[in-house]
Amino acid sequence: MVRVNFGGFVPLSTVDWHGRSVCTVFLRGCPIRCSYCHNRGIISGLDERDTEEIIGMVRDARLLISGVVFSGGEPTFQPEALKEVARAARSSGLVVGVQTNGIFPEVLAGLVREGLVDRIALDIKAGWGRYESLVQVNVAEKVKESLEICKTAAASGSLPECEVVVTLFRGYEHEAASISAETGDLVLVLQQGVVPGTEPLTVEELRAVADGLDKPVRIRTRDSGEEWYEGHRCRRSSSERKR
């Protein structure tokens, strides 16, 4: 049995996996520090539990859910605990999702290799040149490696679902294009960044960013939730193909 630094548990969530009802397990701890982190209270601290206790929480929620999502903190920061609970979820007939910042690519590769993950939400926080100043650690190469793992696994069918989440703040809208160019066929999410003292981008402004990309995207905002947006260029290309 593995010990886990526990961050919290939500027995029923309809927002952590698009189209599914899931439970969400939060694992405490994260080695990077984002100024806008919405789970700041669990990026440090200690609440040690046996994994069997967490597995019990997941099993108790089974009647209401079809999957479990691991979030944080950074869930891949505790790879053995993550894998043990994921294996138990699998044995209970649940699908498994992981929300990650991608700084431990070897853990993601192991999850894919063992067939323990059905969905990865990879958070790319900025353009590569701005990573170190934003998160206070030079991890851009690790995140690039995680992105390649996700692209390869998705293309081979060993990762059924994957999305790249880009949290956009006013003044950095231009970074979406360079990130989008590297994500290939993975689903791209443009997420509204919210920090005190800065006016967040509106839905209309995020749509304008999406209009400059070559792919449909999901747009996610605090007030309006999530929408699938094809963008002007995608719609124009589609209409041209129909002629």
The pair of three-digit structure tokens given for residue 88, joined into one six-digit string:
């138990």
Which of the listed residues 129, 159, 189 is the one where a domain comes to its end?
159
Q: In this structure, what are the phi and psi dihedrals at residue 51, rounded to the nearest 5 degrees?
A: -60, -30
Structural domains counted in the chain: 2
Q: Which residues pair with 166 in a beta bridge?
A: 124, 190
CATH number where 98 lies: 3.20.20.70
Residue 37 has pLDDT above 70, yes or no: yes
**Residues 109 and 143 occupy one common structural domain:** yes
Residue 137: predicted pLDDT: 85
In the structure, what pLDDT confidence band is assigned to residue 241 with cuts at 50, 70 and 90? very low
**Residues 127 and 176 occupy one common structural domain:** no
Determine the Cα–Cα distance for residues 174 and 119; give it in Å rounded to an integer: 27
- Note the pLDDT tens digit of each residue in 165-174: 999 999 999 9
**Residues 37 and 62 occupy one common structural domain:** yes
Residue 115 has pLDDT above 80, yes or no: yes
Residue 237 has pLDDT above 50, yes or no: no
Residue 233: predicted pLDDT: 56
**Residues 31 and 129 occupy one common structural domain:** yes
**Residues 39 and 126 occupy one common structural domain:** yes
Amino acid at 101: N
**Residues 116 and 48 occupy one common structural domain:** yes
User: Crossing angle for the helix pair 51-60 and 79-91, nearest 10 degrees?
Assistant: 30
**Residues 183 and 151 occupy one common structural domain:** no
**Residues 173 and 137 occupy one common structural domain:** no
**Residues 136 and 56 occupy one common structural domain:** yes
Q: In what order do the strands lie in the sheet with 95-100?
A: 48-50, 3-13, 22-27, 67-72, 95-100, 119-124, 161-168, 187-192, 217-221, 225-229
Residue 234 has pLDDT above 80, yes or no: no
Residue 135: predicted pLDDT: 85
- Note the pLDDT tens digit of each residue in 83-110: 999 999 999 999 999 999 999 999 999 9
Determine the Cα–Cα distance for residues 127 and 108; give it in Å rounded to an integer: 21
The Cβ of residue 64 has, within 10 Å, a number of other Cβ atoms equal to 11
The answer to whether residue 240 is domain-embedded is yes
Mean pLDDT (whole number) for 204-221: 95
Mean pLDDT (whole number) for 126-134: 90
CA angle 225, 66, 101 (to 5 degrees): 55
Pairing of strands 95-100, 119-124: parallel
* pTM strictly above 0.85: yes
Determine the Cα–Cα distance for residues 216 and 189; give it in Å rounded to an integer: 9
The answer to whether residue 90 is domain-embedded is yes
Mean pLDDT (whole number) for 30-47: 90
**Residues 6 and 32 occupy one common structural domain:** yes
**Residues 78 and 173 occupy one common structural domain:** no
C-alpha separations of 123 from 60, 74, 98, 163, 168 in Å: 29, 11, 11, 9, 11
The answer to whether residue 164 is domain-embedded is no
Smallest CA-to-CA distance from 116 within 107, 125, 124 is with: 107
